[in-house]
Structure 1
Amino acid sequence: MNRTEALDVVKESIAQVVPDADLAGLGLDDTFRDALEMDSLDFLSLVEILSERTGVRIDDEDTPHLTTLSGSADFLVTRTG
């Protein structure tokens, strides 16, 4: 998976969890939990969807990498590469 594909997967997954999210206004380094007002259950759902869509196991200690679009994409590229 390359970075562009990873970003697409992350954005699509966020859209599943927060259907009315303004992803166009979300910067690569914006903390999306704050920007999109995601609660902890939303975030857990996002982690589960990312794991299912990519086949990547995401442990609790991995979640700090999943706070921004950029960090999430980098994490997925590293784990799928």
Structure 2
Amino acid sequence: MTQVELEKALADALGRIAPDIDVADIDRDGDLREEFDIDSMDFLNLVTALSKQFSLSVPEKDYQSLGSFSAIITYLAEKTA
């Protein structure tokens, strides 16, 4: 998948989790959970949605590396390559 496709998929998933998030306002390197007050259940829903969409298994040990928009994109790019 291309970077643009990954970013759109993540933006769409975030929009379902937190509809008030404007992707244009996201600090791509900032902590998504803090920036948009995403709780642990919403984060788990985000990871689950992305796992299903990309047919990936995302182990819990990887969650800590998925804190920012950029980090998630990097992770998805590596796993879908």
Question: Given the two structures, how large is their TM-score scaled by the length of structure 2?
Answer: 0.92
1:18 equivalent in structure 2:
18
2:6 equivalent in structure 1:
6
1:53 equivalent in structure 2:
53
Count of aligned residue pairs for this structure pair: 81
Unaligned residue ranges in structure 2 (runs of 5+)? none
1-structure distance, mates of 2:19, 2:28: 19
Q: How big is the shift at 1:16?
A: 0.7
Q: How big is the shift at 1:59?
A: 0.7
2:66 equivalent in structure 1:
66
2-structure distance, mates of 1:70, 1:77: 10
Q: Once the two structures are superposed, what CA deviation does each residue of 1:46-68 show, in whole Å capped at 9, x if it has no partner? A: 01001011111111011122111
1:35 equivalent in structure 2:
35
Unaligned residue ranges in structure 1 (runs of 5+)? none
Which runs of structure 1 show a deviation greater than 2 angstroms over 4 or more consecutive aligned residues? Answer: none
2-structure distance, mates of 1:29, 1:12: 18
Question: Given the two structures, how large is their TM-score scaled by the length of structure 1?
Answer: 0.92
2-structure distance, mates of 1:3, 1:67: 18
